[in-house]
Chains A and B, each alone.
Chain A
Amino acid sequence: MIVNAELFVKDLPGQLVGSLEPISLVDGNIMGVMHDRERIVNHRICINITFEVEGQDQLEELQRIWKSKDIIISKIGSVYQTYTMDYLLIGDIDAPYIEGLINKASAIAKMDAVDVRYSSRTNRSSNRTGLISVKTRSEDDLERLDDFLDKECRNSGIIYVRGV
């Protein structure tokens, strides 16, 4: 799991390294560190760290070590990597159709965010274009979504254009 934590450490030499070492001790992987010397509260400096640990047990062990070293944890939360894909659907589509499609898709793939836009219907054709932008938490979810949309669109005679 990817975690973001905001810590306050004493304004003394070696405190930054001291707050990072425990992450290695629990076999974690540091992805980013921001040392904010302008944010000082009670003579403590703010450090924002993003790191990856295997699971909840490792995260709890890390929090225990930080506390034992007199490091204050002011915020801690999970951060997930997301995968974004855009899909264009071209054909005789309307909002209820797309909504139904997204509802069915959400049973197959876990989607963090879905955004839909439409072109307006023209006089020349009943066809319109729908743009669906999706964020998922894994590539597997994205692949399942691709397969689902591909099959549904083929069955409904709708042109399906996805990103690469």
Chain B
Amino acid sequence: MRIFICGFGTVGQGFAEVIARRSQFLEERYGQPVRITGAMDSRTYVLDRDGLDPLDLVARKQRTGRVGDDEYSDPTAVLDAAAYDILVEVSPTDVKTGGAGLGNIMHALNDRKDVITVNKGPLALRFNELITLAKRNKCKFRFEGSVGGAMPIINLCHENLRGENITSIRGIFNGTCNFILSKMDKGQPFEQALKEAQQMGYAETDPTNDIEGYDSACKVAILANSVFGRNVTFDDVKITGITGITEEAISMAASLNMVIRLIGEISDTKLEVGPRLIPKGHPLSISGTLNTAQIISDLAGPITVTGRGAGRLETASAILSDLISIMDERSEV
């Protein structure tokens, strides 16, 4: 099995490392090695039909800031030159246009390649178009890591809760906001909590996508499309961020034995991201950087899942799970 990794930042490197760690398991399970035959970052690329050493790729990227020697201007031309079966698209999220990731995914699907992605932009903007394209070309297209990182939710709903009528999903889909609000519970003002999140590496230098609720809104759109079969985009989500949450509001919530958390809500009629009052002890009142989701279904009732929403190996674990699912499906044929 030949893999091309598009995007070689934190997640791309994490996935390469996971491939190195699980190479023996994968070879024993499928009777063939999983080889990385190409990798591309924002400027450079490297190709080798015989397979590249995953750990060498990571070391090189960390040493030089580049994954390859050759530079490119058109990423799809690199994909055309590569020999691969599955595209792993983990380039940075662009919620306005879908970014290069959208073009890469469409190019691979048009070329009848299977695709795994955690890139929220293309999924939040053009979900149904991508699914239709994948179905038309009989490609496998999986994206578990795009919502909640290591926390299983999409495949859980599709595979384990098969036959259930899922009526709603509510959850904490952004660890950065949850970290900030948890710190505010302990008396820190918003600005100080945000600064601490940046120092700890949980928030970007420009935290807009997190604190304005845009990142959560992408995930809400993805769940609405993939679990509820809706046809919505990021722009359809009603969004309120956490920048307006004051210490007084946190204190007043505490006086009711409640906390404020940024919650994404999806149902047949709801598509929202906003701060909500959550009773202490409720599954959605968790503190820290964890993500959590409560799925309500007609037969099973409420099911709550919690996990690390981001991180190098955590997100890579979701990609590995998608890879195994695709390879299992291919083995069955």
Name A residues whose Cβ lies closer than 8 Å to a Cβ of B.
Answer: 86-88, 90-91, 117, 119, 122, 125, 127-129, 131, 150, 159-164
Contact = CB atoms under 8 A, between A and B. Distances in A.
Contacts of B271: none
Interface residues of chain A: helix, strand, loop or mixed (majority): strand
Contacts of B170: 164
Contact of A90 (B246, B276, B278): B246
A156 B260 CA distance: 21
Contacts of A86: 256, 258, 277
A60 to B, nearest CB: 37
A133 B275 CA distance: 17
25 contacts: A86-B256, A86-B277, A87-B277, A88-B249, A88-B252, A88-B253, A88-B277, A90-B245, A90-B249, A119-B248, A119-B249, A119-B252, A125-B246, A127-B246, A129-B246, A129-B252, A131-B252, A131-B256, A160-B274, A161-B245, A162-B276, A162-B277, A163-B258, A163-B278, A164-B284
Contacts of A150: 238
A161 B248 contact: no
Contacts of B284: 164
Contacts, number: 61
A159 B252 contact: no
Contacts of A131: 252, 256
B251 interface: yes
A86 to B, nearest CB: 6
B276 A119 contact: no
Contacts of A127: 246, 248
Given A122-B248, A125-B246, A131-B256, A160 B240 contact: yes
A161 B246 contact: no
Contact of B260 (A91, A122, A125, A161): A161
Contact of B244 (A90, A128, A162): A90
Contacts of A119: 248-249, 251-252
- What band does the interface of chain B fall in when counting residues whose beta carbon is under 8 Å from A? 20 to 34
Q: Choose among A88, A125, A163 the residue with the greatest number of B CB atoms under 10 Å from its CB.
A: A88
Given A119-B249, A162-B276, 11 more contacts: A86-B277, A88-B249, A122-B248, A127-B248, A129-B252, A159-B245, A163-B276, A164-B263, A164-B276, A164-B282, A164-B284
Contacts of B274: 160-161
A90 B184 CA distance: 16
A162 B245 CA distance: 13
Nearest to A119: B248
Interface string B231-257: 000000010100011101101110010
Q: Which of B246, B256, B282, B284 has the most CB of A within 10 A?
A: B246
A127 B189 CA distance: 15
Contacts of B256: 86, 131
B248 A128 contact: yes
A-B interface, 10 closest residue pairs, ranked by CB to CB distance from nearest:
A159-B244, A119-B248, A163-B277, A129-B248, A129-B249, A161-B275, A90-B249, A131-B252, A164-B276, A129-B252
Nearest to A161: B275
Interface in B66-98: none
B277 A164 contact: yes
A164 B260 CA distance: 11
B127 to A, nearest CB: 25
Nearest to A120: B248
A76 B284 CA distance: 41
Most chain A beta-carbon neighbours within 10 Å: one of B170, B252, B253, B282: B252
A86 B279 CA distance: 11
Contacts of B265: 164
A81 B245 CA distance: 32
A131 B260 CA distance: 13
A49 B244 CA distance: 49
A90 B282 CA distance: 23
Contacts of A163: 258, 276-278
Nearest to A158: B244
Contacts of B240: 159-160
B275 to A, nearest CB: 5
A127 B278 CA distance: 22
A157 B276 CA distance: 17
A161 B276 contact: yes
Interface in B46-80: none
A135 to B, nearest CB: 14
A162 B275 CA distance: 7
Nearest to B243: A159
A162 B240 CA distance: 12
